[in-house]
Structure 1
Amino acid sequence: MSSPDLRQGNSLASRDVKNLIHSYTNLSVHEKTGPLIIEKGKGIYVYDDNGKEYIEGLAGLWCTSFGFGEQELIDAATKQMQKLPYYHSFASKSTEPGILLAEKLIEIAPADFSKVFFVNSGSEANDTVVKLIWYYNNALGRRQKKKIISRQKAYHGVTVAAASLTGLPPLHNDFDLPIENILHTSCPHYYRFGKDGESEEEFATRMAVELEELILKEGPDTVAAFIAEPVMGAGGVIVPPKGYFEKIQAVLKKYDVLMVADEVICGFGRTGNMWGTETYGIKPDILSCAKALSSAYLPIAAVMVSEEIFRGMVKQSETHGAFAHGYTYSGHPVPAAVALRTLELMEERNMIAHVQKVAPVFEKRFKALADHELVGEVRVSGLVGAIELVADKETKRSFAPSCAVGPTGYGYIQEEGVISRAVAGDNLALCPPLIITEEQINEMFDRFERGLERLAQDVNGNNWRDAK
């Protein structure tokens, strides 16, 4: 039977295929299968246009911390929309929501930051980080100190500079990336890259040594910054090995290299603290955040910098007449009002304590999957985790990419009523709204496990373990 041509007809699916380009989608397959159309959401659940219920097990895209339909956030947006639906931050203009949100972020920041710059997405935040690092070093007369080191399997966004920082080949292939002055050091995934007989801490030491060797090879006077997610999200939910950031930061301090924390996924409670930097002992000079800043109800992101970096920005703005960077919607008052109310709700409802209370149930259910015949490793931090699917548990051999085991498993899990995500190959991730209860966690994993069992039947029935 041939697949229907979804480009014909007047259904929502047909109109989608006819008119929309979808992110991170096999566009050829999409033309044949069409979209899953989500019509409404409530709490941790979303519903498609046929009324089927799904647990949103990835909080949208790691972001909808308060779930769907939170009236306090809807009211914050409505009230601000009625008062001042838009204004900008160019030429010394400001709005009350932007001022109050900046104050709040500085108050709860995990380091001694001085200023906040607002953007609209994590990608824009990390693009801005790159520009600020270059601008700052030019202010200091260090015009060669421009290289920024990221990590293999890192994810920092999709704009030109942010995608260059990202250490995943699909974001570089045929986009002519990465750009100049972006480097990548080793991925700190102990399960995949640890050597035989090497302890986790020894592996962390080797990662720091390899970073130092890269800095020395390039020349310390040319290396400006190192950027890292506390937990690597789209690269597979990779949790840092014991002692990793302590050892890494010692190298950075030795060679006067800035530490940039990408808190786009980890920020605002995800790892059991307000910031992932607190969970893993990171002391950043610059921090980018987004996603859960507004519980994703409206687009907003931020970059926080130290006073030292800001003074460099002031010097350059004097030299050139203006700080010539910004976006039409930077500090938009409506997203800023929603973000401020989001942070207030986190305090009023003691969300960090809630995450700490339910995270052990989440971790227990995740770790119970370690015995499954397809699972090589379980990785979990707070309310974010992933399983890595392998063809051979003993040797850690991966499945052939042609089998598409991860995406197939994702599809089965979705059919069972959980939206998860297949990341970095055959890793299945969960990152539910922070409001999830213990009962709902168990419900989510019951559905997830049913999908995993269906995947195992496919693997065994099709001999995918032997595929080349």
Structure 2
Amino acid sequence: MTVQPNSIEARDAAYHMHSYTNARVLEAEGPLIIEEGDGIYVTDNSGKRYIEGMSGLWSVAVGFGEDRLAKVANDQMRKLPYYHTFAQRSHTPSAELAEKLIQMAPVAMSKVYFTNSGSEANDTMVKLLWYRSNALGKPEKKKIISRIKGYHGITVASGSLTGLPYNHMSFDLPIPQVMHAGCPHYSAFAQDGESEADFVARLARELDELIQAEGPDTIAGFIGEPVMGAGGVIVPPEGYWKAIQDVLKKYDILLIADEVICGFGRTGQMFGSQTMGIEPDIMVLSKQLSSSYIPFSALMMNDRTYQPIADETARIGTFGHGFTGSGHPVGAAVSLENLKIIEENDLVGNAARMSPLFLDRLNRLAAHDLAKEMRGIGLIGALELHPQGDATGKAGPALVNACMERGLILRPLGDSVAFCPPLIITEDQVNQMFDIVDEAIASLSF
């Protein structure tokens, strides 16, 4: 890419530091500038149109350019553009959204706490677990178990929960209270001759051994995505979540389901917890909650989580935590309308109906000579390539670039390529997306 002087690309590269980007490459090459969005498509500033095969960042459930969300945001901005939820203040959108989420929860939940991103929600979750342990008179019960390849955000606490090297390197993470259990990726981590059932049993046994080694009375919680996203779209083997939950129940350890990617239809049911048979104590929500039209997130907690926290606020006299934008009225109003669209247009059902075709086309790609395996469920999937020698680590980006040249935006995760289209996608559009990938992968050689 050649950056023209004084172009928007050059100005962006000169003044704007990007996430998940090599800063020196950005300075030299500039960014792709996206100007417009419509349905499953986005258009760059040269007029080139792309299928957004990643829903932005796993998140635009209702597609781009949804007028209902724009109207609700405008109406709320005019009526009450901002108010807070500190010191017993609230407003109608946050009250109604909290009620709606409690009604939607797949297991009994007690309270909702609003934040502005998945990272903030998980960071808040960590503080709540520590606060709760102190309230229970268990100041030693502060450790949290996450998993290798899990993704839970990028703040100091949530970045520590994340189990990916790039999120730790040079940041001095993870913090000491966080440890990582095994990843449920069978083909990558199974031992020779180990069946899926044996693999599941071993991961559960290793978790039990980790808890015993650390001391059960020091473990506050276990966090996991129902289906791992940024770690490579890793669908756990059958029986995995039951085995993990059995261990956690044995030691009375809270279970946190990170539904930031899976929630609101991505796996073909409203929540990934339903798809995977998880009964969480805390659920973390973001992305498709507002379709990322506006930054918004939440966590829900059950009564056994909430009651000690509430008692501690009474003892201290306040809950000394909060964000200026917690429960923002515009974000809450947009989220409410977004959930209405998901329900009224049966987008969860559409994900379930499109899933067989989506997974079939993904599976056909896995038969290619350059492919290693496919992974997927609902409308989320990944194709892993198997390059040789010095091509390792470059195959995923190469395929993504070849797709982008042909009008499809995907995301490389090492040598895997992730797919996560908007939930509004049609059969014709699924086929159009995979036809592009077919052509792109045929153009590659390693």
| Fold shared by both chains (TM-score > 0.5) | yes
The answer to whether residue 420 in structure 2 is matched with residue 431 in structure 1 is: yes
Number of the residue aligned with 2:345: 349
Which residue of the other structure, out of 41, 48, 52, is the alignment partner of 2:44?
48
Number of the residue aligned with 1:412: 402
Mean Cα deviation higher: 64-73 or 444-453: 444-453
The answer to whether residue 91 in structure 2 is matched with residue 95 in structure 1 is: yes
Secondary structure of the equivalent of 1:315?
A: helix
Counterpart Cα distance in 1 of 2:268 and 2:393: 35
The answer to whether residue 187 in structure 2 is matched with residue 169 in structure 1 is: no
Task: Indicate if the aligned counterparts of 1:65 and 1:435 stay in contact, CA closer than 8 A.
Answer: yes
Which residue of the other structure, out of 7, 11, 27, is the alignment partner of 2:7?
11
Counterpart Cα distance in 1 of 2:316 and 2:406: 58
Counterpart Cα distance in 1 of 2:346 and 2:44: 31
The answer to whether residue 318 in structure 2 is matched with residue 329 in structure 1 is: no
Which residue of the other structure, out of 421, 429, 432, is the alignment partner of 1:440?
429
Number of the residue aligned with 2:102: 106
Which residue of the other structure, out of 389, 402, 421, is the alignment partner of 2:411?
421
Q: What pairs up with 1:24-173 in 2 under 5 angstroms? A: 24-173=20-169
Mean Cα deviation higher: 309-318 or 173-182: 309-318
Counterpart Cα distance in 1 of 2:209 and 2:406: 48
**Displacement, 1:195?**
1.5
Counterpart Cα distance in 2 of 1:135 and 1:401: 48
Structure 2: gaps of 5 or more residues: none
Q: What pairs up with 1:367-382 in 2 under 5 angstroms? A: 367-382=363-378
Counterpart Cα distance in 2 of 1:400 and 1:108: 49
> How many percent identity over aligned positions?
54
Q: Which runs of 4+ in 1 moved over 3 A?
A: 398-403
**Displacement, 1:97?**
0.3
Secondary structure of the equivalent of 2:42?
A: strand
The answer to whether residue 177 in structure 2 is matched with residue 181 in structure 1 is: yes
Secondary structure of the equivalent of 1:113?
A: coil
Structure 1: gaps of 5 or more residues: 392-397, 460-468
Counterpart Cα distance in 2 of 1:14 and 1:443: 33
Counterpart Cα distance in 1 of 2:412 and 2:325: 32
Task: Indicate if the aligned counterparts of 1:238 and 1:379 stay in contact, CA closer than 8 A.
Answer: yes
Number of the residue aligned with 1:244: 240
The answer to whether residue 253 in structure 2 is matched with residue 257 in structure 1 is: yes
Counterpart Cα distance in 1 of 2:407 and 2:5: 28
Residues 92-136 of structure 1: CA deviation (Å, up to 9, x unaligned): 000100000000000000111100000000000100110011111
The answer to whether residue 445 in structure 2 is matched with residue 449 in structure 1 is: no
Which residue of the other structure, out of 179, 191, 194, is the alignment partner of 1:195?
191
Mean Cα deviation higher: 354-363 or 162-171: 354-363
Task: Indicate if the aligned counterparts of 2:386 and 2:392 stay in contact, CA closer than 8 A.
Answer: no
**Displacement, 1:29?**
1.2
Number of the residue aligned with 1:395: none
Amino acid at match of 2:435: D
Counterpart Cα distance in 2 of 1:389 and 1:160: 32
Counterpart Cα distance in 2 of 1:29 and 1:347: 42
Secondary structure of the equivalent of 1:325?
A: coil
Task: Indicate if the aligned counterparts of 2:62 and 2:341 stay in contact, CA closer than 8 A.
Answer: no
Q: What pairs up with 1:193-232 in 2 under 5 angstroms? A: 193-232=189-228
**Displacement, 1:403?**
5.4
| Cα pair distance change 1:412/1:255, threshold 3 Å | same
Counterpart Cα distance in 2 of 1:67 and 1:408: 26
Secondary structure of the equivalent of 1:311?
A: helix
Report the number of matched residues.
Answer: 446
Counterpart Cα distance in 2 of 1:245 and 1:302: 23
Task: Indicate if the aligned counterparts of 1:399 and 1:405 stay in contact, CA closer than 8 A.
Answer: no
Secondary structure of the equivalent of 1:371?
A: coil
Number of the residue aligned with 2:358: 362
Counterpart Cα distance in 2 of 1:232 and 1:289: 14
Counterpart Cα distance in 2 of 1:452 and 1:142: 55
Counterpart Cα distance in 2 of 1:399 and 1:67: 39
Counterpart Cα distance in 2 of 1:33 and 1:408: 16
Counterpart Cα distance in 1 of 2:376 and 2:393: 26
Residues 1-20 of structure 1: CA deviation (Å, up to 9, x unaligned): xx86x5x8311011011000
Residues 264-291 of structure 1: CA deviation (Å, up to 9, x unaligned): 0000000000000000000000010100
Number of the residue aligned with 2:336: 340
Amino acid at match of 2:169: N
Amino acid at match of 1:341: E
| Cα pair distance change 1:267/1:218, threshold 3 Å | same
Counterpart Cα distance in 2 of 1:238 and 1:61: 17
Amino acid at match of 1:263: E
CA-based RMSD of the aligned residues comes to 1.2
Which residue of the other structure, out of 316, 321, 324, is the alignment partner of 1:320?
316
Residues 332-384 of structure 1: CA deviation (Å, up to 9, x unaligned): 00010000011111111122211111111101101111211111110011000
Counterpart Cα distance in 1 of 2:149 and 2:436: 29
Task: Indicate if the aligned counterparts of 1:54 and 1:419 stay in contact, CA closer than 8 A.
Answer: yes
Amino acid at match of 1:110: P
Number of the residue aligned with 2:291: 295
Residues 59-101 of structure 1: CA deviation (Å, up to 9, x unaligned): 0000000111111111111111111000000000001000000
Counterpart Cα distance in 1 of 2:393 and 2:65: 38
